[in-house]
């Protein structure tokens, strides 16, 4: 299995359970590892033969910017499902970081894996 990854994709969104969080946009950061077989693309040197990480990033930006979830768990699950379904990815590991959510901690968030890793 090969892995195509995106690191530190920063997106502004409404996220949180507190009233003040519902009135502002906060920046979340996504790290993604996605299973892909890159052999065909390596042989053809054609974007059509691989997982287009720019297309994945643009779709996630569109989705997250328009979302208003309360929990990072929900947002992470929906982002992972979107990539699995819309980009025909068999496996994904997604880290969602809500920087600054806890005073004294640099990072807080969730890491989920979905699909079948082969």
Cα–Cα distance for residue pair 18/82, rounded to 1 Å: 26
pLDDT averaged over 10-residue windows placed end to end, the chain, 118 residues: 96 96 96 97 96 98 98 98 97 94 88 92
pLDDT of 105 reads 87
pLDDT of 118 reads 76
pLDDT of 98 reads 95
Range of the domain at 10: 2-115
| Residue 48 structure tokens | 């059509």
Q: Is the dihedral of CA 39, 84, 71, 23 positive or negative?
A: positive
**pTM (2 decimals)?**
0.94
**CATH number for position 51:** 3.30.1130.10
Q: Which long-range contacts (CB under 8 A, 24 or more apart) does 104-107 make?
A: none
User: Among this protein's residues, is 98 annotated catalytic?
Assistant: yes
Total of domains in the chain: 1
Helices 72-86 and 53-65 meet at what angle, rounded to 10? Answer: 140
């Amino acid at each position: 299995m090969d892995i195509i990854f995106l690191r530190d994709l920063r997106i502004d969104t409404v996220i949180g359970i507190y009233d003040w969080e519902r009135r502002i946009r906060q920046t979340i950061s996504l790290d993604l590892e996605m299973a892909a077989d890159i052999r065909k693309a390596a042989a053809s040197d054609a974007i059509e033969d691989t997982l287009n990480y720019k297309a994945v990033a643009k779709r996630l930006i569109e989705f997250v910017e328009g979302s208003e979830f309360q929990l990072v768990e929900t947002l992470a699950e929906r982002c992972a499902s979107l990539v699995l379904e819309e980009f025909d990815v068999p496996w994904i590991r997604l880290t969602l970081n809500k920087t600054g959510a806890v005073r004294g901690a640099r990072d807080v968030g969730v890491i989920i894996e979905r699909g079948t890793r082969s």
